[in-house]
Structure 1
């Protein structure tokens, strides 16, 4: 697995607003521009409806026209990204501990957020010589692969875990998290008891991840903080100490996030 991007297929049967916003999911680094005709084709709507969607997104600055009758993401997204970086409590509270963690360990730091059934990287601190393609800001991954994801999954409420297991049983088994409900529960309990997760080559071959969960003031899981490195750079005897540093950074980040949220219980993000 080298990437993850939820597609417009997930929005079949959705409302008009969801279908319109779902067009934005099509724009990726692999395909940053889309011709109007292709947007109409994949939208699952009539030509006139899709034209209205495109014009509404253009008016909001979320799409902008480029040469040849094609479209790309608009500049308003840059403005929104800046607002998130300056104002989101998880980012502003978790970024300083994540940056220090990278400096102290010498490995790439990662700050991740639970987002609609996925895990999104909201900040990263790459170190010199870091593996190419390691998780970076704005990328999403599934909940089942890699330490940054698994430590979030382990702390979701039981009713959400039951629904997730029912929908994604095959992926959960493939991720080594159990082939039945009881095995799944035991695997997640082990992660909760440890307070951190360590995975090797689960999302990227040759990369080890160590992560710990982040919580709001009421104990709801928000995301994770951790490090990523080449496996050969992290000897077995060093892993317990690194895990301790990651968990210490997570505790600091949780305190800072609560402070950034002005002592209010920042809601956990939805799991789709």
Structure 2
């Protein structure tokens, strides 16, 4: 545990709707920390915009808090709307199921239904991974503007996770073109050895890609013999989540075609 981070969080938790402003002395008296220690932490929080200091030396929460609360609401909204559909997908596929959001050009896993066959003991929830070597990441990346794809490559590069990771810019862009055409992405042991995935993008009411869902397992047939049936199931699930987020398919985002609910069938 990092003491300075704990103290910073305790400071932020001091501010309440009925007491939105506090002096350094008040914060020190209530938390029991020296004023010098708190002053240093408050200066850092002020620099980052998480607290504001008035002319009278009174502190209050800063505007940098607002985007964080909005992100939490958006994450909870999509998770809650997606959860029943993802459970149905997991029951149908008998594979692990994941929901990841686009977070500053990386994937952030916010929901998972993991089977006992997952090779890694830890859960993926809360994990942030690069976009070019996962099916959720590539499915989102394929529907981002070209300039954002270039920014991502410049910022993060294309590091190798396994021997199958795509590490060449042109090869990646060819893969993204295929994903845009077929509406789903595959991960053929590109992120974790002997793990295979199919992922599909999720759009919001503005037609922007905001998330992706996937199935994942250790059976190579996920991306070979069972690929078409499982891809249809993941696409249907992503489509229904998108609709619950207010999305109406149109134009170049019309990646889904009319078909019966594949989750009601046996593959």
TM-score, normalization by structure 1: 0.61
Aligned with 1:206: secondary structure? Answer: coil
Tell me the CA shift for residue 257 of structure 1.
1.9
Aligned with 2:133: secondary structure? Answer: coil
Once residues 122 and 212 of structure 1 are traced to their aligned partners in structure 2, the CA distance between those partners, rounded to angstroms, is 15
Output the aligned Cα RMSD. Answer: 3.3
Higher relative contact order (CA 8 A, sep 6+): 1
Describe the superposition over 1:49-87 as per-residue Cα deviations: whole angstroms up to 9, x where unpaired. xxxx7533222349xx9xxxxxxxxxxxxxx99x94897
Aligned with 1:218: secondary structure? Answer: coil
TM-score, normalization by structure 2: 0.62
The answer for the alignment partner of 2:78 in structure 1 is 90
Q: Which runs of 4+ in 1 moved over 4 A?
A: 83-87, 172-178
Once residues 98 and 238 of structure 1 are traced to their aligned partners in structure 2, the CA distance between those partners, rounded to angstroms, is 18
Note if 1:55 corresponds to 2:7.
yes
List aligned pairs for 1:215-226, cutoff 5 A: 215-226=203-214
Distance 1:170 1:199, change over 3 A: closer
Describe the superposition over 1:4-61 as per-residue Cα deviations: whole angstroms up to 9, x where unpaired. xxxxxxxxxxxxxxxxxxxxxxxxxxxxx23x4xx6xxxxxxxxxxxxx753322234
Note if 1:210 corresponds to 2:198.
yes
Once residues 244 and 197 of structure 1 are traced to their aligned partners in structure 2, the CA distance between those partners, rounded to angstroms, is 12
Aligned with 1:114: secondary structure? Answer: strand
Note if 1:179 corresponds to 2:168.
yes
Structure 2 regions of 5+ residues with no counterpart?
Answer: 15-30, 32-67, 249-267
List aligned pairs for 1:51-130, cutoff 5 A: 55-61=7-13, 84=72, 88-130=76-118
Which deviates further from its counterpart, 161-170 or 115-124?
Answer: 161-170
Structure 1 regions of 5+ residues with no counterpart?
Answer: 1-32, 40-52, 66-79, 264-272
Question: Retained in 1: the 8 A contact 2:97–2:213?
Answer: yes
Tell me the CA shift for residue 258 of structure 1.
2.0
List aligned pairs for 1:219-238, cutoff 5 A: 219-232=207-220, 234=222, 236-238=224-226
Based on CA coordinates, which of the two structures has the bigger radius of gyration?
Answer: 2
Tell me the CA shift for residue 166 of structure 1.
2.9
